[in-house]
Amino acid sequence: MKLLDTSLLCEKLTERQNALIKSGKLGGCEILIKQNGKAVFHKAFINELNSMYRLASMSKPVTTVAVLIEAERGNLSLDDKVSKYLSGFSNMYVGMLDENGKAVPKEPVKNEITVEQLLNHTNGLFSDSDGVGVYQSSLFTKADRQNLASYAYKIERSLLSFQPGEYAYYSGGAAHSVAARLVEIVSGLPFEEYIQENIVKPLGIKDMTFVPNEEQWARMVSVHKYDGEKSWYIDIGKTMFEGIPLTFYSGAASLGGTAEAYSAFAEMLLNDGGNILKPESVSLMKKAYVPISWNPADSQWWGLGVRVINNNEYILPKNSFGWSGAYGTHFWIDPENKITAVYLRNSHYDGGAGAQIANRFEEDVMGSLK
């Protein structure tokens, strides 16, 4: 294990964030890095410490943990077909776009989607950037997104982007929300209540929620925008992800939280599940299932709800795992060096997987190891 040089770490991170702010590319952030369970860097830039952030797709690892809790309790299995809980999944079709750009059935599904496939992006649910998934998503109404039940009902009557298990492509909004609905079904609890009772309270944190209270809304940061020349801020209202009502607890995208709260969640995973999961479940989560690019030489593979670094050709060491969000949120866990790193910002600029700001953050932290 290598230790972080805290002076160098502070110098690198501070210089980088100040340069990004000066350029207009960063409208504020909060960074919390721990090594061996101790905070070695915790600072907010522009924003106040303990601000609330929309976590976007950093919701997915939390949903995955909820599914694994229910698997440990024997209420579901990763090998289960989703149709065991949502009957519409037993009769799905892969789709294609016709000459008019409309999604139409192409062929029946060969092998039904499993719970595990919901979590490792081999499911085909709205898994494309310009195909049947995008087309169908454009047809969703406000009523379809009213809650997890209405959303899952619509999803199970939709067309897939590819045959489950035959390919991997990121399911940005659909798969983990279906997984959250499964947790509701087997537990009998609304997903927000489930997260509070089974993850938030046991971790001893308070600021992680799908439905912020008034005090938390008062700490919610505005969304930053940058057009290449100027930067500004917008108020997207009381929503945790644009287009999603607060009644829809999207397990894929609509959690909110603080750096302290998410750091506690990451520390739990670093420490083999703590009081939340068994070590065997965490091992399943961070197992490298399939390459993100479907190229076995790729450094980044899908785990369950996370990406996993599968070789030593990447910035982070092999077996590190974590994920990002559309608003620029980013975190990872480095088991080898006992590091958890959380970077929270809310911006329409340079977010999601492969964001340059996130990559530079990884470089600055790893470049500070002695």
Q: Which of 70, 66, 98, 69 is closest to 84 using CA atoms?
A: 70
Q: How far is it, in rounded angstroms, from Cα 318 to Cα 305? A: 17
User: Which residue type sits at 140?
Assistant: F
185-198 pLDDT per residue, tens: 999 999 999 999 99
CB atoms within 10 A of CB 84: 17
Angle between helices 259-270 and 59-72 (to 10 degrees): 40
Q: Which residues contact 178 (CB under 8 A, 6 or more apart)?
A: 82, 86, 118, 125, 151, 152, 155, 156
Place of tokens 């996993």: 308
User: Which residue type sits at 55?
Assistant: L
Give the angle 29-312-271 at the CA atoms, nearest 5°. Answer: 60
Model confidence, pTM? 0.97
305-340 pLDDT per residue, tens: 999 999 999 999 999 999 999 999 999 999 999 999
Q: How far is it, in rounded angstroms, from Cα 361 to Cα 188? A: 40
Would you say residue 353 has pLDDT above 90?
no
CB-based burial label for 221 (10 Å; 0-12, 13-18, 19+): buried
User: What is the H or E stretch that residue 125 is in?
Assistant: none
φ/ψ of 225, rounded to 5, equals -130, 150
pLDDT at residue 106 in the model: 97
128-175 pLDDT per residue, tens: 988 999 999 999 999 999 999 999 999 999 999 999 999 999 999 999
User: Which residue type sits at 127?
Assistant: S
Q: How far is it, in rounded angstroms, from Cα 10 to Cα 205? A: 26
Residue ranges and CATH numbers for the domains of the chain are: 6-59+206-366 (3.40.710.10), 70-187 (no CATH)
| Sequential DSSP letters for 283-337 | HHHTS--EETTS-TT-SEEE-SSSEEE-SSSSSSPTT-EEEE-TTS-EEEEETTT
User: Which residue type sits at 180?
Assistant: A
Name the β-bridge partners of 334.
Answer: 339
DSSP state of 81: B
Q: How far is it, in rounded angstroms, from Cα 127 to Cα 155? A: 12
199-255 pLDDT per residue, tens: 999 999 999 999 999 999 999 999 999 999 999 999 999 999 998 999 999 999 999
Q: Are the C-beta atoms of 262 and 55 separated by less than 8 Å?
A: yes
φ/ψ of 274, rounded to 5, equals 50, -130
**Roughly how many angstroms between the first and final C-alpha of the chain, as a whole number?**
10
Query: Would you call 82 helix, strand, or coil by DSSP?
Result: helix
Q: What percent of the chain has pLDDT over 90?
A: 97
> 169-199 b/e with 16+ CB inside 10 Å = b?
bbbbbbbbbbbbbbbbbbbeebbbebbbebb
